[in-house]
Amino acid sequence: MRIGVFVCHCGSNIAGTVDVVSVAEASKMFPDVVYATDEVYTCSEPGQKAIQDAVREHRLDGVVVASCSPRMHENTFRRAIEKAGLNRYMLEMANIREHVSWIGKDKEKNTFKSTELVHMAVEKLRRNQPLVPKTFEIDKTVLVVGGGVAGIQAALDCADGGLDVILVERESSIGGKMAKLDKTFPTVDCSTCILGPKMVDVAQHPNITLMTSSEVDEVNGYVGNFEVTIRRKATYVNNDLCTGCGLCSAKCPSKKALDKFNEGVGQTTAINIPFPQAIPKKAAIDPEYCIKFTKGKCGVCAKVCPTGAVNYEQQDELKTVKVGAVIAATGYSLFDHTRLEQYGGGRYPDVVTSLQYERMLSASGPTGGHIKRPSNGEEPKNIVFIQCVGSRDKSIDRPYCSGFCCMYTAKQAILTKDHLPDSQSYVFYMDIRAPGKLYDEFTRRAMEEYGARYVRGRVSMVYPKDGKLMVRGADTLAGTQMEVDADLVVLAVGAEAETGAPQLAEKLRISYDKYGFFLEGHPKLRPVETNTAGVFLAGSCQGPKDIPSSVGQGSAAAAKVLALFAKDMLESDPAVAEVNQRRCVGCLKCVRTCPFGAIKEIEARDGSTKAEVIDTVCQGCGICSVTCPHGAIQLKHFTDNQILAEVDALCLSWMDENYA
Amino acid sequence: MSRLDTLKEQIRKALPDLDLVIGWERGFDPFHATPFHIKEEADIDRLIFDATCVHNLASFLTGLAGKKVGVVVKGCDSRTVVQLIQEKLIDRESVVIFGLPCTGVLDKAKLKAAVDLTRVSALDVDGDTVRITSGDETVEKDLKDLQATKCDSCKYPNPLEFDHLAGKPVEPHGDEAVQYDRIKAFEDTPVEERFDFWVGEMDRCIRCYACRNACPLCVCRDHCIGDSRDPHWLSQETDIRNKWMFQLIHAMHLAGRCTECGECERACPMDIPVLMFKKKLSSIVKDLFNYESGVDPTAVPPLFTFQVDEETINERGW
């Protein structure tokens, strides 16, 4: 074999702390290496051309590039050597940037480590085989999980692009958090008025199948051919018959049910339609409060329903769908404000969360758009907003900024003044984060035109006194303590990962961070992709986001799916497992351990049982090859011999020195 | 009727439907038993069972696939049979299990240390007493002092899976608590000492693979990593590295499978304590998965399945 080694400077990224010239020089000593050189930017056009020229000139049949992570440029170099006539799998990369130059400062040690990594890559490459991908058909249906604004946008864009879309929503109506908002910043236009038409579009689009009160139960398969089991939770109402007339909730005797849509501000009936613009506009029963379920008798709704849609016997239904791609748009959840006891959330009725306040402001909300103190129903005069409740706080493991609270607090201060011209708003803030188009101007308006008093400092405690709430905090700009006698305290709660997000991530086999937000493929360059092919992200499930960003990501994810589905056939990665039938004893342990169901039992010609890998289903995880006791299954491109050769390259000299 | 007579009677009745029954017969001296195949009724009289019957006869089962086989097992051996059934390496339907409650077997090394074996003319086990006639004198020893180490912590003296049981079940006589004491004591020594210990032990290994051949769960047959040249895990060199690597891979392949029958260590002609590796892994599997191998024929060994969430491991704190 004739191997060429190309050691990259990456400008000064690598060359700054690694002597790349001597790494290249040392590489010439490794077996089968016939050519070695260093390049300033190997990934640049001249750099790639240098590889291709060397392949031709030195008749190379394998190339090692010592540069950055293969995550970054493996495909670049694979394409480059393919153009020079080599098989794309005759490339190995030694990561001497992320694994060496960026993490160590000692140039001598870095150079030594880089040389060892190149040695390993050479030893592996010597055992590489040319591999050819197979193609497989794809199902051009996309599953969108979550019917908030990001999911709605993604679903509409995919559907407009001609794809069949299945939109799954956990609640009984789509709309998500945005449907609960009264107005949106920085334009102060009505949230429902701009979201409503999109929701209607979803309901009416011929390409969209809407599944509400449903959750993803199980995900199998792989890009192009996912098989997803969706659980439709019992709502005890037949959606095909329900006309959304609302007679049932008007007559329902259980009127003290938790009003989830209104964030627990006010109460609702056990059978209800969450809000007037709900899509689909169908009633659902909350069995926790329904008298029929708690006491065994009632049945009023069933009696009054003109279409006989109520069915107390309804069970969860499982439905399996085949899709080619999944867009996760599961959104976010809000920080539990009762955790920060100093603010009195949950203890004092006049301390509310920002979203509860939003429902109070809404004309369709429980107070009909009138701001009232929950304790006595009176109009408040002094209203205190406390920002960063559950954001930027290491002590409660929420060190991140939720991003949108500064803006919605400014909006709520403005709306407060609109609703109650005699009121005075106070906003306790840490910093104002308003980096968006017209955002900073908006917060200034809240202060300057609407007279909201912004106090830079943290609140230390909220305590009741003479029917009011005393808010004690620091004014760090004035360098004083201050106390406000508030009628209402609004906590600007931060965003958290949606409950159940990590569990969904596991089902989708995507990564998530320690807070439960899904991990994008690359923080800058692959913001809506995941590292699992065919699974994309949109909206706040990836991290807190405001509406414009969520919509933007919804469209971006849709564009990615449309690009993926522009091809009729996809290529499968040929670096998959392979069974050596002569070695296989047919114990089928591999079948049992394979997480993807990619190994099947077959009958060999002599009638014995053997295992066989389904190439297009195999994801190349390697669990089978470590399970197989006698090495009958090898992972192509990562065979035992290749791994052993790498280990030997690293360890042999050490072993010989220490105990031979 | 004695336990052995009951067993003989059971085998006599079952033999016509079987190709063979594996049992023990007296070996070339009084303290050796030898596995043998009962193929016809006349063979049954050669059958013995006492504390010298150390072999785990389940070791032969995988090599007799396709035949209808009877096998005589002690409590510990039955775990191996259960494990083989779990792994579908043998078919439960084609195996007839003759179970024997066991009160412990002898350890030849301990015996050798106690008396001069070259002159032994008779050995007799009576309850807890071992009577050894060596030359002209007869000595009596406590069975506890001469029995295999594995018997000290025996939890399952009675077969867990059987078709026929000869004799009354016995109370567990071992102290389960001491099971992993040897490992724990060893682990308390400094790492350099442990390293040196194994370098020394492995240096003595002659790569005879008796440990592998005796292991009832070593089922790779012709594809053992010790012999394979592709993949080339091990070279032919007789260095410590290759020998140690084999032992560790052997142990890893037995994680969650090994029933701790101790055949590997017993078979080792160099007396290398290779069972320690397996005991260590068993204790890890027990800690991690709360799983004990070879106990329940319907259980799935933890490493032969894939679960995103292990029941016993709370990785995420959900």
3-state helix/strand/coil string of A50-64: HHHHHHHHCCCCEEE
Query: B184 and B36, same structural domain?
Result: no
| pLDDT tens readout for residues B252-263 | 989 999 999 999
H runs (alpha helix) in chain B: 3-14, 75-86, 108-114, 143-146, 149-152, 181-187, 191-204, 210-214, 240-253, 263-267, 275-289
Q: What is the pLDDT of residue A611?
A: 94
A157 has pLDDT over 90: yes
A12 has pLDDT over 60: yes
Secondary structure (DSSP) of B44-80: GGGEE-STT----GGGGGGGGTTS-EEEEE-HHHHHH
Query: B82 and B11, same structural domain?
Result: yes
Domain parsing of chain A, residue ranges: 3-133, 141-233+316-331+506-564, 247-304, 334-496, 576-635
A502 touching B (Cβ < 8 Å): yes
The average pLDDT across B213-237 equals 84
B183 has pLDDT over 80: yes
Interface probe for B, chosen from A513, A618, A659 (most Cβ of B below 10 Å), is A659
Q: What's chain B's Rg over C-alpha atoms?
A: 20
pLDDT band, very low/low/confident/very high, at A658 (cuts 50, 70, 90) = low
A chain contacts of residue B225, beta-carbon cutoff 8 Å: 630-631
User: d(Cα A101, Cα A16) in Å, to the nearest integer?
Assistant: 8
Amino acid identity, position A191: S
Nearest to A593 among B87, B223, B306 (CB): B306
A494 has pLDDT over 90: yes
Query: B224 and B167, same structural domain?
Result: no
CA angle B126, B128, B130 (to 5 degrees): 55
Query: B213 and B159, same structural domain?
Result: no
Which residues 577-616 of A have a C-beta within 8 angstroms of B?
583, 585, 587-589, 592-595
- Which tokens in the block code for residue B198? 């194994």
H or E stretch at A508: helix A501-508
* A334-496 has the same fold as A141-233+316-331+506-564: yes
Tell me if B35 is assigned to some domain: yes
B168 touching A (Cβ < 8 Å): no
Query: B254 and B167, same structural domain?
Result: no
For A141-233+316-331+506-564, which CATH superfamily applies? FAD/NAD(P)-binding domain (3.50.50.60)
A107/B241: higher pLDDT:
A107
Pairing state between β A468-475 and A459-465: antiparallel
Tell me if B145 is assigned to some domain: no
- Which tokens in the block code for residue A410? 């400014």
Tell me if B189 is assigned to some domain: yes
Q: Whose CA is closest to A33, among A14, A61, A52, A66? A: A61
A147 has pLDDT over 70: yes
B252 touching A (Cβ < 8 Å): no
Contact between chains at B231 and A632 (C-beta distance less than 8 A): no
B chain contacts of residue A640, beta-carbon cutoff 8 Å: 231, 233
Query: B194 and B63, same structural domain?
Result: no
Could you list the residue range(s) of the whole structural domain that residue B170 is in? 1-105+154-176
Q: Are residues A145 and A168 in contact, defined by beta-carbon separation less than 8 angstroms? A: yes
Q: What is the pLDDT of residue A659?
A: 54
Query: B252 and B165, same structural domain?
Result: no
Interface A-B: count of C-beta contacts within 8 A: 63
A chain contacts of residue B240, beta-carbon cutoff 8 Å: 659-660
Kindly report the nearest CA distance between residue B242 and chain A, in angstroms.
10
ipTM of the complex: 0.77
The answer, yes or no, to whether the previous bond of A280 is cis (omega within 30 of 0) is: yes
Lowest-confidence region among A304-318, A410-424, B66-80, B108-122: B108-122
Topology of the domain covering A576-635:
Alpha-Beta Plaits (3.30.70)
B232 touching A (Cβ < 8 Å): yes
Tell me if B122 is assigned to some domain: no
Interface probe for B, chosen from A589, A618, A638, A653 (most Cβ of B below 10 Å), is A589
Query: B255 and B184, same structural domain?
Result: yes
Q: What is the pLDDT of residue A78?
A: 96
Q: Whose CA is closest to A263, among A490, A500, A539, A502? A: A490
Question: By three-state DSSP, how is residue A421 classified?
Answer: coil
Kindly report the nearest CA distance between residue A531 and chain B, in angstroms.
18
Which CATH number does A3-133 carry?
3.40.50
Query: B88 and B160, same structural domain?
Result: yes
Q: What is the pLDDT of residue B132?
A: 87
Kindly report the nearest CA distance between residue A290 and chain B, in angstroms.
30
| pLDDT tens readout for residues A324-335 | 999 999 999 999
Q: What is the pLDDT of residue B316?
A: 67
Tell me if B80 is assigned to some domain: yes
A230 has pLDDT over 80: yes
| pLDDT tens readout for residues B130-158 | 888 887 888 888 888 898 888 888 889 99
User: d(Cα B296, Cα B3) in Å, to the nearest integer?
Assistant: 26
Which residues 131-150 of A have a C-beta within 8 angstroms of B?
none
Sequence-distant (6+) residues with CB within 8 A of A57 are: none
Kindly report the nearest CA distance between residue B27 and chain A, in angstroms.
34
Nearest to A631 among B87, B221, B223 (CB): B223
B chain contacts of residue A501, beta-carbon cutoff 8 Å: none
How far is residue A167 CA from its own chain's centroid?
16
Which chain A residue lies closest to B256 (C-alpha atoms)? A627
A chain contacts of residue B314, beta-carbon cutoff 8 Å: none
| pLDDT tens readout for residues A404-454 | 999 999 999 999 999 999 999 999 999 999 999 999 999 999 999 999 999
Query: B186 and B67, same structural domain?
Result: no
Tell me if B236 is assigned to some domain: yes
Tell me if B146 is assigned to some domain: no
Nearest to A593 among B239, B304, B318 (CB): B304
State the helix-helix crossing angle for A354-361 and A405-419, rounded to 10 degrees. 40
- Say what the pTM is: 0.74
A203 touching B (Cβ < 8 Å): no
Total domains in the fold of chain B: 2
Length of chain B: 318
> To the nearest whole number, what is the mean pLDDT of chain B?
89
> To the nearest whole number, what is the mean pLDDT of chain A?
94
Name the percent of chain A lying above pLDDT 70: 99
What are phi and psi for residue A354, nearest 5 degrees? -60, -35
A334-496 to CATH, choices 3.40.50.11540, 3.40.630.30, 3.30.70.890, 3.50.50.60 = 3.50.50.60
Interface probe for A, chosen from B83, B85, B88, B300 (most Cβ of A below 10 Å), is B88
Burial category of B191 from C-beta neighbours within 10 Å (exposed 0-12, middle 13-18, buried 19 and up):
exposed
Nearest to B223 among A589, A594, A630 (CB): A630
Question: By three-state DSSP, how is residue A250 classified?
Answer: helix
Q: Are residues A613 and A596 in contact, defined by beta-carbon separation less than 8 angstroms? A: no
How far is residue A392 CA from its own chain's centroid?
21
Q: What is the pLDDT of residue A582?
A: 87
Query: B54 and B97, same structural domain?
Result: yes
Q: Are residues A528 and A538 in contact, defined by beta-carbon separation less than 8 angstroms? A: yes
Sequence-distant (6+) residues with CB within 8 A of A5 are: A24, A27, A28, A30, A33, A35, A36, A37, A63, A64, A66, A118, A122
B222 has pLDDT over 80: no
Query: B194 and B168, same structural domain?
Result: no
The answer, yes or no, to whether the previous bond of A186 is cis (omega within 30 of 0) is: yes
Q: Are residues A640 and A631 in contact, defined by beta-carbon separation less than 8 angstroms? A: yes
Kindly report the nearest CA distance between residue B20 and chain A, in angstroms.
23
Which chain B residue lies closest to A654 (C-alpha atoms)? B241
Q: What is the pLDDT of residue B128?
A: 81
pLDDT band, very low/low/confident/very high, at B318 (cuts 50, 70, 90) = low
Contact between chains at A631 and B225 (C-beta distance less than 8 A): yes
